[in-house]
């Protein structure tokens, strides 16, 4: 019987279905040494964003045939080594975009209306309404960096709040600008977006081009009363520079669902003008159920030599 190792939380539906055909080992967040030992006799590894698979882990997997990312992105997988070893790698994008976009606005509202601060104070029986003035979203300009599935969905939600929408995209063209302006989205440069937007949201993958995309230099271009929301990856924003900008009130507030080092203390957590969530953008029942179904189908197909959707290598 083929063996599957699950190292990050996935929907119970997927576990139940996989157990019908395979031996499933469920070991969340293994230490490095544990991981190297566990992978020796498995055919498939299932992970999300919490665990990294490097060259040594892949080389230790003598029977390894598939690495399955139950979500968007593959920045935590050594794709080069996987390709050299002829190991199939796939992810499951374009499923959780609604979930991530909705959480984006949850964080925006939490900042703009100081919901988290109000909740924290009230639970300590502190009533300071005069300190809890917030901002309406109507009429404000939202700047979206990255206009893929998630960014586009954020734009649609923004329309419902009667916001002005500007965006910065990688694949810019006259035709694309023309099509987007017809639906109320203006394409601008990153520098212009930073200067004009009241709220900036990040929806880009982490790669060499986007690493430290937002540093002190970019933060200094933003309005003093603006907010920054990071829904991409931790390394896209320089966390030390962001801490300084929030501490010095260079910008009014920021929120992030992602961090350079997850499951660790972070100085940002001590700031009242910073809202944090533990990488839960895709964690809705609806999206995880869809991801579970695709995950199971792809693994069964992959192990049987059939086509895998969204195969990376």
Active site members: 233, 262, 279
How many helices (DSSP H) and strands (DSSP E) are in the chain?
12, 12
Alpha carbon distance, N-terminus to C-terminus of the chain: 25
**Contact between 17 and 39 (Cβ < 8 Å):** no
Q: Distance (Å, rounded) from C-alpha 72 to C-alpha 215? A: 24
Q: Which two tokens stand for residue 104?
A: 């984006």
Count CA atoms closer than 13 A to 241's CA, side-chain side.
15
Work out the burial of residue 306: count CB atoms within 10 Å of its CB; fewer than 13 is exposed, 13-18 middle, 19 or more buried.
Answer: exposed
**Contact between 69 and 89 (Cβ < 8 Å):** yes
DSSP state of 140: P
Quick count: other Cβ atoms within 10 Å of Cβ 307? 8
Rg over alpha carbons for the chain, rounded to the nearest Å, is 21
Segment (H or E) for 165: strand 164-168
């Amino acid at each position: 019987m083929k063996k599957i190792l699950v190292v990050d939380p996935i929907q119970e539906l997927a576990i139940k279905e996989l157990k019908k055909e395979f031996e499933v080992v469920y070991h969340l967040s293994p230490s490095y040494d544990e991981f190297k030992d566990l992978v020796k006799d498995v055919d498939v590894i299932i992970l999300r964003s919490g665990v990294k698979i490097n060259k040594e882990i892949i080389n230790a997997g003598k029977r390894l045939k598939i690495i399955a990312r139950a979500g968007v992105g593959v920045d935590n997988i050594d794709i080069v080594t996987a390709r050299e070893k002829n190991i199939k790698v796939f992810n499951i994008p374009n499923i959780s975009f609604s979930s991530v976009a909705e959480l984006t606005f949850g964080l925006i509202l939490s900042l703009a209306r100081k919901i988290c601060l109000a909740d924290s104070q009230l639970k300590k029986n502190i009533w300071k309404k005069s300190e809890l003035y917030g901002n309406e979203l109507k009429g404000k300009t939202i700047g979206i960096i990255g206009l893929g599935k998630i960014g586009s969905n954020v734009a649609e939600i923004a329309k419902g709040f009667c916001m002005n929408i500007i965006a910065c995209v990688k694949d810019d063209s006259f035709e694309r600008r023309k099509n987007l302006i017809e639906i109320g989205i203006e394409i601008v440069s990153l520098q212009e977006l930073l200067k004009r937007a009241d709220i900036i949201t990040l929806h880009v993958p982490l790669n060499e081009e986007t690493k430290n995309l937002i540093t002190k230099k970019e933060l200094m271009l933003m309005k003093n009363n603006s907010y920054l929301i990071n829904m991409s990856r931790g390394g896209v924003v320089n966390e030390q520079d962001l801490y300084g900008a929030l501490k010095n009130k260079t910008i009014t507030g920021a929120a992030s669902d992602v961090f350079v080092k997850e499951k660790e203390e972070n100085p940002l957590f001590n700031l009242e003008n910073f809202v944090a969530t533990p990488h839960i953008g895709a964690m809705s029942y609806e999206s995880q159920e869809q991801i579970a179904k695709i995950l199971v189908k792809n693994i069964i197909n992959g192990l049987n030599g059939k086509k895998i959707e969204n195969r990376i290598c």
